[in-house]
Each structure stands twice: as structure tokens, then as C-alpha cells.
Amino acid sequence: MKTAGVIGGGAWGTALAQVCARAGLDVVLWAREPEVVEAVNARHENSLFLPGVPLEASIRATGDLADLGDRDLILAVAPAQHLRSTLTAFAPHVREGLPIVLCSKGVEQGSLKLMTEVLAETIPQAAPAVLSGPSFAGEVARGLPTAVTLACPDEGCAEALGEAIATPTFRPYFANDMIGAEAGGAIKNVLAIATGIVEGRGLGRSAHAALITRGFSELTRIAVALGGEAETVAGLCGLGDLVLTCSSPQSRNMSVGLALGGGQTLEQALAGKLSVAEGVASAPAVRQLARKLGVDVPICEAVAAILAGEVGVDDAIRGLLSRPLREER
């Protein structure tokens, strides 16, 4: 593999383009925004979504998905709720067996499907893989050490992809459980909003730790109910990603929770934000999915209810703390 295409010119897509370029791949980055294309090509910077981070001069940007059709591998980084339409537009340019690595994290509203299911329906001829793990775009783009999960059912394809994108500071670990990898990445975004609310309300570090731990139980139950493995979500793509995104206001989802916990409305919390907080869109879908699976997820339920305006922050907190006592599991 010598060439890579990255679909999505946001902060994470740009960071992954940077990773691929540092790994020695010839990289084309597709962005929806003309100003991103212009800035990357003319000034080697994504001043809209990742300002202040110099990009590798070899990265080329385009606004035409057809320019990615001849790539050896594709990283799909469009937001989860827009992935279906983006992949549908790209489908006519895809050859049989093209590796497409899904880097978006979320559950699709309406269909309640994971991103691998969306890919299977839009580009069934692709070879799927999932990239997930604790990774802030700015840190990855600047070359700080990062480890992620690369999940792929084809061991040979996984090894080829890993060798293609690995750098001295970006280390993929292999797995074959794509469902577990996806579930961890999707559900942790909802839980990050919850931890932000805890922080914004000043409820203390003990409450913060308890929420992460009990949230991880919810994440694991959903992943296993979907057919994933508990061992997978105990790794980088589950527990690792959860710890990171629930521990820093750099997390877009936690920052939304911080604003809600501080008394802002959802509209105020989202105002002026260019980057997508996937947990806001995924929360209602995660709630519906858990109910469909018969899985108890009180924290995810509470977040979805707060975001929908069905309950206030303080009432949601009281509701969680007044649940019947039970065995920890």
C-alpha cells in the first residue's frame, strides 16, 4: 500500500492524513468545505478545523470524491450521521476489495446501525476495517505518541493496513472484532457528555470516577448484546477511549456536558462549534438501540433525556442516585 485517501476534512480526518503522510504514503484528503481544500493546498494548514498545526507539504486536498478512487486504502472520517450519504456518493468510484477503514464513531439515527453496517449497505464490495482508540486530533497531528485499535476480520488485510499507517508515534494494535471496536467508540461519546455534566456541576472526582466505571459497564453490555466481545472493549477502543474522552475538555463531547452542567441550554452549548460532538446525535440512537436489545443503560438514558429536554440536569442526577441498590455487575 503506497497511496491513501482520507474522506473528511475535519480535525480528525486532517490528523489521520498527517499520520499517513508521515508513514510515507501519498495522501489525498477530501473535504466538503472549499476553504479547507484551498488552505491545505496553498498553506499546508487546515485553518478552519485544526488551526496552528503545520501539515505535511505532500498532503493534497480535493473537493471531488472521484480523486480518491485510485487509492490503495481509504480512511472514512465523515461524521457518523453523514457517513451514509458520503459513502453513497463515493460508491461509483470504488473497485472490488478496496480497504475502507471506518474512523467515525456513532450510531446512525433512524436505522440504529453501526458504521460497518452502513458501509456494507452502501459499498458492499469494500474490505471493511475499523480504527478506534484514545486519540485527540491535535495531539495526533502534532506527532504525540498514540495507540489505537485497528479491527479487521481479514488478518492479512489488517497487517497490511497496520504496516501502511504505523509511524514511530502512531501505533495500531490488531483485533478482529469490528463490532466491539465500533460500539466502544460510539457509546463513549454519550458517556463523555455525562462526565462533562458531572464536572460542570462540581460533583467531585469521586462521582467522576464512579460514572466512568458504571458507564463502562453500560458500554460493555451493549457491545456484547450486539455480538462484540468484552475483551475488545476492555482495550484501547473501549476503556482507553472512554478514559480519554471523559477526562479532558479537549473532548468535544465532554465540553458539551461541561456547558450543560454549568447551566447552559443545549443550543448554547453547541453555539459556535464547527466540529461535531458525535454524542449529541448518537445519544437518542443509543437509547433506542439499548431498549431494542433489552440492555439496561441508565446513564445513557439520562443523557438522552437531558439532551431531548425531557428532564433537567439535577432531576436526572437525582434519578440515577436514587436507583434501587443492587449487586455491582
Tell which residue, 98, 47, 48, 51, has the closest CA to residue 75.
98
**C-alpha–C-alpha distance, residues 197 and 66, integer Å:** 42
315 φ/ψ angles, rounded to the nearest 5 degrees: -65, -35
**C-alpha–C-alpha distance, residues 115 and 178, integer Å:** 10
Handedness of CA 43, 44, 49, 50 (dihedral sign): negative
**C-alpha–C-alpha distance, residues 78 and 237, integer Å:** 18
Between CA 179 and CA 47, with CA 257 as vertex, the angle to 5 degrees is: 80
Q: What is the pTM of this model?
A: 0.94
The arrangement of strands across the sheet holding 26-30 comes to 60-62, 26-30, 3-7, 73-76, 99-102, 127-132, 146-151, 170-175
Q: What is the pLDDT of residue 277?
A: 78
For the purposes of burial, counting CB atoms within 10 Å of the CB of 163, is it exposed (0-12), middle (13-18) or buried (19 or more)?
exposed
Element housing 279 (H / E): helix 278-293
Report the DSSP beta bridge partners of residue 99. 127
For the chain, which residues score pLDDT lower than 70?
A: none
Residue positions annotated with a catalytic role: 188
Q: What is the pLDDT of residue 216?
A: 97
Tell which residue, 179, 47, 152, has the closest CA to residue 97.
152
**C-alpha–C-alpha distance, residues 228 and 186, integer Å:** 13
What DSSP character marks residue 324?
A: P
**For strand 127-132 and strand 146-151, is the pairing parallel, antiparallel, or unpaired?**
antiparallel
Q: What is the pLDDT of residue 104?
A: 93
